[in-house]
Structure 1
């Protein structure tokens, strides 16, 4: 167990200040105390009094904490406590300036988007639920094919109409052009883009459109491509739930959500083509740096192939 570092009287005065005058919770005061003790131990190691520490010392300690495995969020909380202490010390005339001001914690790495393996994605796309309501089965199969085959966002899928109408532009809707094998969608930032629809998705769409209107009286449906059993346009939440249920019925170990299929579309396309610009256009990303995250997914795939296949990569 680490021995608490002795705190100078000024630090003790500050802790009393936040406890009595600022009335911070006891747990918060305890955390401030522990963090100041960390800094006191460091100041003893570098042989500089606590109130004489400079910004370079703080940055060095941040680097040491990060190198030892502490995450960016934890470091940010520690820095916040130190910043408060030195701000108080500056107001008391104990230090000329706040050495923690302007020091930031390392950014936490962005988690990679979750993507299905090719086999799992194809398994889900080809899944057929025997004994299910044919109407629901045709609709859900078409939704999966469009999400995985076109890389649509769930809002883009929910916003699709069967065909363009007089209010399509005003309402921000998209539509399907079966003859041209294209999906026209309205993405983020009200940017429209056109996407090719593959043969499997076209076949699923045609099967769905043959059944779509059958349960409803004439004029009951509006122009929505995907509707619920009462005839209303499916919401994004409904699509999430149906996809999750379908992935479980298909035997996938990971519950699938719509954005996972979008990630799978991008990752698998990049693995096959290596064309980052084309993937950017298909996803509707304004900046290619957003698309570059999929190169990291692609690297993971290559690393896994290497580990499994190369004789010098195998563990003995």
Structure 2
């Protein structure tokens, strides 16, 4: 089997060549995936040859040692997991072919990766983005995009929940906003409905958008073409429901106009919503309900963001936290280290 990486790969053992043909023809894996498999299996073959082993003689202890070598060489946990997945699949195929009695990779797993903290804006950055008024933008686009920011940040909605909102409630609507009750009904993950409060700023922005929404040349044609899409709260110039991709694009452009250092994406505003609520209230259960998390452990990641905020505030403000060059590190640093050891 030829791939675009053949020039960089040594001759592969016949078992590996047959396996690559199997995943290409019978499993119909993408060409790039097959190329990556070839690279990972070339590494396996090289390790086995160095150890003086046939591929069928490899044991779990060998695989663990090779995994440790990858980790020591700086390979990230996700990359190691992909390599192990490839090797595991290869030995499963060898087992089905009757070439090995057991899979030496079956119980080997990559080291756990540190769970990255969600990216959230500082309070002043989120407010600057929400209060941006782009005088040069078309009023129709400006009203829509401002309402989008207010709902994402003010309600903690997922982008899928946002674009699923309709102008009014109906039996076929995935979600809608009740201005009188100041509530949004949304359809979240797992088709679970929840109600979230809508703040006064979001209601104001929404009212301004609804006053202009129907001034869209493509709306009537969209209603004939797809009434369900035309019923959307947020639409594009063609009258169709705004896509998640379009929201990402508009939000990125708006954040740059607001002078933020990094482009903002919809989920960053959801993270900001949760983090800023916890900073003010410390009510983890309430934030869990507002976000629609089934498990509170998913919400607990935001307590780490909240703790970082407190530690930074301490380091910046407390007179005994400002250490001289020859003094111990600020208390906030020590608190952060202790928190990472005892989450």
TM-score range, shorter chain: 0.7 to 0.9
Match of 2:338 in 1: none
Q: Distance in 2 between matches of 1:214 and 1:113?
A: 38
- Structure 2: segments with no counterpart, 5+ residues: 1-11, 22-34, 224-229, 324-328, 334-343
TM-score by length of 2: 0.68
What does 1:33-182 align with in structure 2 at a 5 Å threshold? 33-36=45-48, 40=51, 66=71, 69-76=74-81, 77=83, 81=87, 100-164=105-169, 168-169=170-171, 171-182=172-183
| Kept in 2: contact 1:114–1:263 (CA 8 A) | yes
CA change 1:206–1:28 in 2 (3 A) is: closer
| Stretch of structure 1 that moved more, 60-69 or 246-255 | 60-69
Whole-Å Cα distance in 1 between the matches of residues 208 and 46 of structure 2? 65
Output the CA distance in 2 between the equivalents of 1:294 and 1:218: 41
Q: Secondary structure at the match of 1:292?
A: helix
Greater RCO between the two (CA within 8 Å, min separation 6)?
1
Cα distance change on mapping 1:23 and 1:58 into 2, 3 Å: closer
1:53-85 residue CA offsets vs partner (Å, 9 max, x unmatched): 975686577568657754324444268659968
Specify every segment of 5 or more residues in structure 1 that has no aligned partner in the other structure, as ranges.
1-14, 42-50
Q: What is the deviation of 1:140?
A: 1.1
Give the structure 2 partner of residue 240 of structure 1.
248
1:227-257 per-position Cα deviation (integer Å, ceiling 9, x unaligned): 2233332222222221111111111121111
Moved more, 229-238 or 255-264: 229-238
Q: Secondary structure at the match of 2:168?
A: coil
Residue of structure 2 in register with 1:270 after alignment: 278
Find the counterpart in structure 2 of residue 212 from structure 1: 213
1:254 aligns with 2:270: no
1:147 and 1:18 mapped to 2: Cα distance? 53
Residues 184-203 of structure 1 aligned to structure 2 (within 5 Å): 184-203=185-204
Give the corresponding residue for 1:31. 43
Mean Cα deviation higher: 148-157 or 111-120: 111-120
The Cα of 1:37 is off from its aligned counterpart by 6.8
Corresponding residue pairs, total: 288
Q: 1:292 aligns with which of 300, 310, 333?
A: 300
Q: Find the aligned partners of 2:279 and 2:260 in 1 and give their Cα distance.
A: 22
CA distance in 1, matches of 2:17, 2:152: 57
Q: For the Cα contact (< 8 Å) 2:219–2:239, is it kept in 1?
A: no
Q: CA distance change for structure 1 residues 78 and 34 in 2, over 3 Å: closer, same or farther?
A: farther
Q: Secondary structure at the match of 2:195?
A: strand
User: How much does 1:292 deviate?
Assistant: 1.9
Deviation of the 1:189 alpha carbon: 1.6
Which residue is equivalent to 1:6? Answer: none
TM-score, with structure 1 as normaliser? 0.73
1:79–1:105: 8 Å Cα contact kept in structure 2? no
Residues 205, 57 of structure 1: CA spacing in aligned structure 2 closer, same or farther, 3 A cutoff? same
Aligned-residue Cα RMSD (Å) equals 3.9
- Higher Cα Rg, which structure: 1
Q: CA-to-partner distance for each residue in 1:78-118, whole Å, 9 max, x for gaps?
A: 686599689979x779xx86654412222333333222121
CA distance in 2: counterparts of 1:190 and 1:87, whole angstroms: 37
